[in-house]
C-alpha cells in the first residue's frame, strides 16, 4: 500500500503546491483511488508533477461535505471520465462555519450529484476488493471544540453539525488494516472506537487530519487536550499515525513529543508505504 499526499497545508518542496485542503492518492489492493480533492485544481497539478495519472484512478472517496475536501471534484471528473465518487448524500447539503465576525459557507457544489457519478453510501458501506466505509460515528466522548463551530441546516435553521456527512475509509490489504480520515470532525478517538466495534481490532495505520486546530481562530486546542489525545494514541503500540491538514503543525509537534516516531507528518508531495 502506498499513500501520497497530493495536496495539504504544507509542502515538501517549492515545486509542489500547498493550500488549506486535503487530497490523498492511494494505491492498494490492486486499485488506485483519490481520497478528497482539496480546494480546487492544485491536487491535479501536483499529481501531474508527481507522475500520477488521475485518469487511471478507479474510484474516488469524499470524506465530508466541506469545500477544502471536495472543491476539486469537478476537476477530477473532467480528468477522469469513468471513476465513481463515493460520498454521503448529506455531503451535498449546505454547511457553514461560525467565524468570529461572520457566518461562512464552507460547503461544496451542491449540483455535483447531477453528473451521475456519485454513489451515495450508507452508515456502513462495502465498496469491495478490500475497501469499505463507515460513518455516523457516535459521540462516545465529546467532540473537540475545534469542531463545534461547524453548522448544518435543519428546517431552515443553522444548528451544530452532527457530521452525518462525514465518512471514513478502511483498507484491508492482506489482513493489514489502514484507516483514512479526512478531518475527523467526529473525533479521531471516537472514530477509532467505532472502527474497533466494526472490525474487532486496531488499524495498523491511521492517516488524516485530526482537527486539533481551530482555523477560524488561527490557534490550536489547549495543550492538555492535545496531550490527552496523544497519550491515548501512544497506547496503541501496534499502530502508526500519519497526520496532516487540520491537525496543525503546533499540535503535531506536541503529539510528537509524546508519541515519538509513532506519529509523523505527511506534507504535499510526500508518500508513505505500509
Per-residue pLDDT of 113-162, as tens digits, reads 677 899 999 999 999 999 999 999 999 998 888 888 899 999 999 999 99
Q: Please give the Cα distance from 204 to 179 (Å, whole number).
A: 8
Residue numbers in the chain where pLDDT is lower than 70: 113
Three-state DSSP class for residue 146: helix
Q: Please give the Cα distance from 196 to 212 (Å, whole number).
A: 22
Predicted structure pTM score: 0.97
Query: Angle CA(166)–CA(57)–CA(3) in degrees, nearest 5?
Result: 65
User: Residue 102 has what pLDDT?
Assistant: 86
User: Residue 6 has what pLDDT?
Assistant: 98
User: Residue 114 has what pLDDT?
Assistant: 74
Among the listed residues 23, 183, 5, 152, the one whose alpha carbon sits nearest the alpha carbon of residue 89: 152
Q: Sheet containing 167-173: give its strands across.
A: 124-128, 131-135, 167-173, 176-180, 205-208, 240-243, 263-265
Per the listing, cell 441546516 goes with 153
Among the listed residues 28, 30, 29, the one whose alpha carbon sits nearest the alpha carbon of residue 3: 28
Residues 127, 118 contacting (CB under 8 angstroms)? no
Q: Please give the Cα distance from 67 to 108 (Å, whole number).
A: 5
User: Residue 214 has what pLDDT?
Assistant: 81
Q: Is the dihedral of CA 185, 78, 30, 7 positive or negative?
A: negative
User: Residue 215 has what pLDDT?
Assistant: 72
User: Residue 151 has what pLDDT?
Assistant: 94
User: Residue 149 has what pLDDT?
Assistant: 87
User: Residue 234 has what pLDDT?
Assistant: 98
User: Residue 226 has what pLDDT?
Assistant: 96
Q: Please give the Cα distance from 105 to 96 (Å, whole number).
A: 4
Distance of CA 27 to the CA centre of its chain: 16
Three-state DSSP class for residue 195: helix
Amino acid at each position: 500500500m502506498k499513500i501520497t499526499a497530493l495536496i495539504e497545508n504544507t509542502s515538501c518542496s517549492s515545486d509542489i503546491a500547498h493550500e488549506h485542503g486535503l487530497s490523498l492518492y492511494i494505491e492498494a489492493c490492486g486499485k488506485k483511488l483519490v481520497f478528497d480533492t482539496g480546494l480546487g485544481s492544485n491536487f491535479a497539478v501536483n499529481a501531474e508533477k508527481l507522475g500520477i495519472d488521475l485518469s487511471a484512478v478507479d474510484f474516488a472517496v469524499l470524506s465530508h461535505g466541506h469545500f477544502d475536501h471536495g472543491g476539486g471534484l469537478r476537476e477530477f471528473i473532467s480528468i477522469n471520465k469513468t471513476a465513481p465518487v463515493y460520498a454521503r448524500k448529506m455531503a451535498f447539503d449546505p454547511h457553514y462555519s461560525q467565524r468570529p465576525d461572520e457566518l461562512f459557507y464552507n460547503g461544496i457544489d451542491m449540483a455535483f450529484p447531477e453528473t451521475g457519478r456519485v454513489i451515495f453510501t450508507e452508515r456502513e458501506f462495502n465498496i469491495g476488493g478490500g475497501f469499505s466505509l463507515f460513518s455516523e460515528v457516535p459521540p462516545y466522548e465529546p467532540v473537540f471544540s475545534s469542531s463545534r463551530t461547524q453548522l448544518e441546516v435543519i428546517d431552515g435553521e443553522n444548528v451544530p453539525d452532527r457530521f452525518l456527512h462525514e465518512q471514513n475509509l478502511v483498507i484491508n490489504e492482506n489482513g493489514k488494516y489502514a484507516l483514512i480520515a479526512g478531518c475527523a470532525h467526529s473525533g479521531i478517538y471516537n472514530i477509532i472506537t467505532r472502527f474497533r466495534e466494526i472490525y474487532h481490532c486496531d488499524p495498523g495505520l491511521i492517516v488524516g487530519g485530526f482537527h486539533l486546530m481551530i482555523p477560524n481562530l488561527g490557534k490550536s486546542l489547549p495543550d492538555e487536550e492535545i496531550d490527552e489525545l496523544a497519550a491515548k494514541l501512544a497506547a496503541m503500540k501496534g499502530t502508526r499515525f500519519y497526520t496532516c491538514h487540520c491537525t496543525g503543525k503546533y499540535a503535531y509537534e506536541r503529539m510528537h513529543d509524546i508519541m515519538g516516531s509513532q506519529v509523523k507528518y505527511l506534507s504535499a508531495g510526500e508518500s508513505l508505504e505500509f
